Amino acid sequence: MPVLEKACALIARPSVTPHDAGCLELIASWLTPLGFSIERIDAGGVSNLWARRGTSGQVICFAGHTDVVPTGPLDQWHSDPFVPSVRDGMLYGRGAADMKSSIAAFVVAIERLLAQRVLAVDSLALLLTSDEEGDAVNGTVRVVEALKARNEHIDCCIVGEPTCVSHLGDTVKNGRRGSLSARLLVKGVQGHVAYPHLIKNPVHLAAPALAELAASTWDDGNEYFPPTSFQISNAHAGTGATNVVPGSFEILFNFRHSTASTVEDLQSRVHALLDRHHLDYEIHWSIGGRPFLTPRGDLCAALGDAIFATTGVTTELSTTGGTSDGRFIADICQQVAEFGPINASIHKIDEHVAVSDLEPLARIYQHTLDRLLR
């Protein structure tokens, strides 16, 4: 089983983010005999690979990451997380589901496609990084910047993130919400609790504004996205003493927002609300990623047809979950979709993927390519 063999070879490399542990060199050794040109676009200690076969026509790209999250307590794993193990029909190992099996299936799909047909016009590509699970500042975004600088584009991109819930093929992610975070510092005057006329309690002052932020409707979402959500993730004030009013109050919060709201709109509304409550504050914004969306079209149709032909499952388009590197690729690609194995065990102890899903995954990728390529 070529997919299983390749997946095991990748899992055996302890590529805890941002380290690649030789995964990209191994993948390059698989792609070079297939006629791919290999380019390394490493940055800031992160390993990145851009591989392309062909120089004309539309560019169909597979994208993903070789890095994995830390293992957690090793004594809780039933087998070494970096020694791939097959038990009871499951392949165990860190990265088995997220997302080394997808990368293995990418390569096998391309091998089989090229063995069956000649690509006269179009190009195939892979974009891989070792910095998706970590800070994601020197990974895919750096490759996208390099491609953009030389006017290279991608027409369709399949990101191999694990998207399925119960059965292989049940979910394709055709977009992701944006992530906008902020650190809000509300200023007051510290003092003794027994002398309220001499203090200015920032917690009391901020509470009505925070309640209004939490109760606000930011948008109603749309056909593809749920309404934008606001969540406070951390709040801190005080010295730890019960008789001291704090001088400042720090609140961390996050928006997971749809394409119905822009970053700029959300920021403007927050500032207006805080100003209306007459707070003395500082706020520092951080954009984790802007939302992206691929409406129903060539890519989603090709994936859906390939999934149904392979598994008999009618897939569902979804934008749930966190962010992914698709947010960066969408800057140079109009059609980005994510599809990969069942995600129930990702980032967990004893991460695994069903061995019986590996070959169908490769067939789905192959059939999708066959439908997209001329």
Whole-angstrom distance, CA of residue 96 vs CA of residue 74? 16
| Residue type, position 89, single letter | G
**The two three-digit tokens of residue 229, written as one number:** 């959500």
Nearest to 64 by CA among 340, 351, 292, 360: 340
- CB count, 10 Å around CB of 75? 6
Segments of 247-313 assigned E as strands: 248-257, 281-289, 292-293
Where does residue 278 fall: left (phi above 0), alpha (psi -120 to 50 degrees), or beta otherwise? left
Determine contact, residues 107/4, Cβ cutoff 8 Å: no
Catalytic residues: 67, 132
Backbone angles phi, psi at 150, to 5 degrees: -110, 20
DSSP letter for 30, please. Answer: H
With a CB cutoff of 8 Å and minimum separation 6, the contacts of 62 are 103, 106, 110, 125, 126, 127, 157, 158, 159, 160, 365
Can you tell me which residue has the tokens 């822009």? 262
DSSP string, 320-341: -SS--THHHHTTTEEEEEE--S
User: Half-sphere exposure of 194 toward its Cβ, with a 13 Å CA cutoff?
Assistant: 1
> Three-state SS across 249-267?
EEEEEEEEECCCCCHHHHH
Query: Which secondary structure element, helix H or strand E, spans residue 65, and what is its range?
Result: strand 59-65
Nearest CA to 97 among 371, 364, 348, 365? 348
- Cα–Cα distance measured from residue 42 to residue 44, given in angstroms and rounded to the nearest whole number: 7
